[in-house]
Each structure stands twice: as structure tokens, then as C-alpha cells.
Amino acid sequence: MNIKKIETFIVRDKLSKSFFFSQWEYSERLCCLVKITTDDGNYGWGEGYGPANIVKEGIEFLKPILIGMKIIDNEVIWSKMYSRTLDYARKGVLTASISAIDVAVWDLKGKLLNLPVSKLLGGTYRNKIKPYATGLYFSSIENPSKNFETELINYLKKGFKAIKMKIGLGIEADLKNIKYVRKVIGNDIKLMVDANHAYSLIESIELSKKMEKYEISWFEEPISPEHYKQYKELREKTSIPVSAGESEYLRYGFHQLLENKSVDIIQPDICSCGGLTEAKKISSLASVYGVDIVPHTWGSGLGIYVALNFIANIEPNPNRLVEKDLYIEYDQTENRIREELIIPKLIIKDGYIEIPTSPGLGVDINEEKLNQFKT
């Protein structure tokens, strides 16, 4: 099984209604997929998280050095890509390009060996993962929570036991929305908040203290990802667990987060942090520091299957007779690409998503629909 062809696809879908968060507005879904085909006709899929057109150009840049390489040599493939980009891509979009290719290689390797990726990573510690709903984005600045109740009731009907809401509109506005959401969902549903690095350290300390009474399970990306020591200081001044990592890259970046004791939870996006090859090493680092992992996911839905295989292999931390649930992010905003492109569809049963057992990632792309979405 040698790499014969590498194809990239930009898929796009205009949203029926725009939504926004603390940084910018979303008016469309846009992501980059990669398909790697081998000389025996097998293929694997990958996805890069980041600006789709730039991710695509990164894949095109790497393509010439990969043709003819053996799929079984995934570590060698990764190292070759990393070495080729080291001088100017230790972080950022080219790392997402590496990640997309690496994910597709793992998908192919699983098909070659007739095993799910979770088994190739070292085995499955668990057969199901608890998803949390990411939603409660803002539809208007004037009344950002006007549709929250309908949205929350829908999440509860779907079986979600944990919900993550967006914040970052200002401390008083955030507290008003958090109070309202907690009132609607009650005290039995876990609630997390995500500021998308909208706050300074001083603001984050004030907000965290004021929202502790609402039983927040974690405070995600409160501060710019550049400020490792500020994260540490925030951790020391709040009882709410602090999480970050979707804006971090490679084991070296996550080592900075962990060595500085910046977070309680790391959140690598496997489709941008370096792929499954690198995420496995990041997982080992997290184990050394005793820090939990909850991967970030976004995009076509392929990334959720990647994360399911990865989370299945995360070593229990700590070990005990009754294992704690591990969580996976499941974005609930409008996404026809995810709903129509991915085969099979994701199913929540009794509050959990089962780990795929088919060879590779356990997912395929509806290529008829791909042709409708691609640009």
C-alpha cells in the first residue's frame, strides 16, 4: 500500500441564518477534506481545522514529498512532513495540513490491517463516549439569549447530559446569560462556558469568581493562548477548572501549557494539532502531568470520528473500579455538511456515542453529496 494520489476538496455551505461568538460571525460552513488513494485502490479521508483554502495549499505543498511512501510507515510520513515545514510552520495552518494528511494515513492504515484506528492506537479502554452539546451562540447582540430556551430544550430531548455555552460579551451580560441557562437546565446537567479568549486576566478572575455559584464544569479559553503564566494565575484564583488547547500545536506547544501548569484540561484539535500521530504523544504528556484531555472538534463531522477513536484509547486517569466518563465535543449549530456528507450518521443512545468498530476511522464520505458541496 503506497501513496499514489492525494486529492483536496473545499466544501462550503451557506447557513440559513448567521450566528456569532466573541470574535466574529459565521455565515457559512467551510472546511478542507483530503483523500489519499493507494496503488491498490484503497483510500482514506482526513480533515484540516483552519482556513480551508490555506489548509488546502499546505496539503498541495506537501504532496510531492509523499507520493510513493508506504502507508504502514505513518510515523516516518509524519516526520518527513514535519521536517519539511519546521523552519516556518511550527504552529499554525501548515500544521493543520499535516494533521489532515496524517488522519487520512491512519484511516488507510486501519483499512490495510482491517482494524479500527482505536485498536491501532493501542486498544480501546471504553466502548462509548459521553457527548456534550456545543451551542448557545449569539443570534443578536441586542438579545443574545432570545432563542436559548428552545435550543436548550432541544439538547435535553436529544439526550445530552452536558452543554457548553458561548460567553465573551462582557462580564455582566455573560453572568445574565449563565444564570438564565442554569435556570432552564437545572442542576443535574453539566454546564461549561467558552470565552474564545475574549478576556484579560483581571476580567477572567472577576468573572470566574462571580460564576462559581452556577456550578461551571470548566472555563474554556478565558485568556489569549499566548499567556501561559496568566492561565496559571487564573487557575490559582478560581475553583472552576480551566481548559484550553484548541489554539495550540504539537507536543511542544502542549508541553508549554502543561509545564507552566496553565490548565486543568487540555483540548487539542486533532485535525490541527498534528494529527493522530502527534495527539498520541500529547496524550502521553498529559498523563505525565495528570491532566485530563477533552479534544476540540469542528468541521465536517469527520473530526468527531477521529476524536472518538482517539478518546477510546486515552488511558484512564486515575485508574479505578468505576471509570469516570470521558467527553467528546458535539457542535449543534447548523451543519448540512456534517449531516449529509458523513456515513454513517452519528447517533446518541442513552446519552452516549458508541466507538466505531469498522476498519479505519469507521466513517466514509458520501461522494455524491461531496460534489454538491465542493467549490
Report the distance separating Cα 1 and Cα 173, nearest Å. 56
Q: How many CB atoms lie within 10 A of CB 229?
A: 11
Distance (Å, rounded) from C-alpha 167 to C-alpha 179? Answer: 12
Q: What is the dihedral of CA 178, 246, 103, 371, to 10 degrees?
A: 60
| Known catalytic residue at 197 | no
C-alpha–C-alpha distance, residues 120 and 140, integer Å: 45
Q: Which three cell numbers stand for residue 163?
A: 452543554
Torsion of CA 168, 19, 299, 171, to 10 degrees: 10
The catalytically annotated residue of 197, 227, 255, 296 is 296
- Long-range contacts (CB closer than 8 Å, 24 or more residues apart) made by 172-175: 173/144, 174/207, 174/211, 175/207, 175/210, 175/211
Known catalytic residues are 296
